[in-house]
Amino acid sequence: MRTTVYTIIITLTIIAQGCSRQKATPEEYIAYINNAKNGLTQTREFGEYQITLQYRPLAFEVLNNTGAESITKETLDKQLTGNSGLEYYLLKIGSIEKKTDALANGLSSTGQYQERISQLVSGIERSIKLVIDQDTFPCVMHHYERNYQMADYHNILLVFEPQKPALGRDRTIVYDDEILGIGKIIYTIDKSDIKSIPELTL
């Protein structure tokens, strides 16, 4: 009888351990999010372009902005509370060849490059939607990181505010491109991949 009880307790403890999220230090957490194998980063290639979307948990954004080495629990908790309800994604427009500026591909006129930059600064956010189940959410904020051709790619940080809790649901980002002529691109981030993100510990 006692053996049976101990066996049940040990089995339940092992199951509980397996079900709980893994824990990660700030450096491990950043590495996990940036690892394409974890399903949070997806890349599509069309013609000369490589378009990548990365799901960025709020904690990841806080670590990037504050610095993984210097962040404190107090700062982290304050930032998580202050920005709760927001979802961050990074859209990266790159060149497959990685030798030339992606926006310089397929230009039909000299002014077209500046037009493309202008659309990234203001306008691209209207082409991107977050879809969760049957609900569609617009991009509420975006930031284009202009690098003045120091790199072949262009990063655009996107922020959405789903109105209802979206825990345990797939996220779909729909980017209806009007800049590069490649049409609509759809990315789906599995709920299981989001659930598998380790817990950040300080």
Partner 1 sequence: MKNKFLLFIALAAMAVAASIATTYFLQKDRSISYVKADVVFNDFEMTKELKVKLDNTVNARQTILDSIMVIMRIASENGNKELLSRTEKEYYIKKEAFDGQNRELTQKYDEQVWLRINQYVKEFGEKKHYDYLLGANGSGSLMYSSEKNDVTKELLDYMNTSYKGSEK
What is the rounded distance in angstroms from the CA atom of residue 119 to the CA atom of residue 178? 9
93 closest CA partner among 53, 56, 140: 53
Q: Say whether residue 46 binds partner 1 (CB under 8 A).
A: yes
Smallest gap, in angstroms, from Cβ of residue 121 to partner 1? 23
Exactly one of 6, 15, 34, 45 binds partner 1 (CB under 8 A); that residue is 45
Are 30 and 72 in contact by the 8 Å Cβ rule? The answer is no
Decide: 59 and 29 in contact? Cβ < 8 Å: yes
Count of residues that bind partner 1 according to CB under 8 A: 14
Q: Closest CB to partner 1 among 46 and 153?
A: 46
Distance between CA atoms of residues 174 and 193, nearest Å = 19
Tell which positions 176-195 bind partner 1, by CB under 8 A.
181-188
Which listed range, 8-16, 41-49, 81-89, 114-122, lies at the site for partner 1 (CB under 8 A)? Answer: 41-49
Q: How many CB atoms lie within 10 A of CB 56?
A: 20
Judged by beta carbon, residue 13 or residue 136, the one nearer partner 1 is 136
Q: Which is closer to partner 1, CB of 39 or CB of 162? A: 39
Residue 64 engages partner 1 in binding (rule: CB under 8 A): no
Q: Does 2 bind partner 1 (CB under 8 A)?
A: no
CA distance linking residue 167 with residue 106, whole number of Å: 41
89 binds partner 1 (CB under 8 A): no
What are 153's two structure tokens? Answer: 């790619």
What whole-number distance in Å separates Cα of residue 48 and Cα of residue 59? 33
38 lies in the site for partner 1, by CB under 8 A: no
Q: Candidates 172, 191, 196, 198: give the one binding partner 1 (CB under 8 A).
A: 172
- Count of Cβ atoms closer than 10 Å to residue 55 Cβ: 23
* Interacting residues with partner 1 (CB under 8 A): 39, 42, 45-47, 172, 181-188
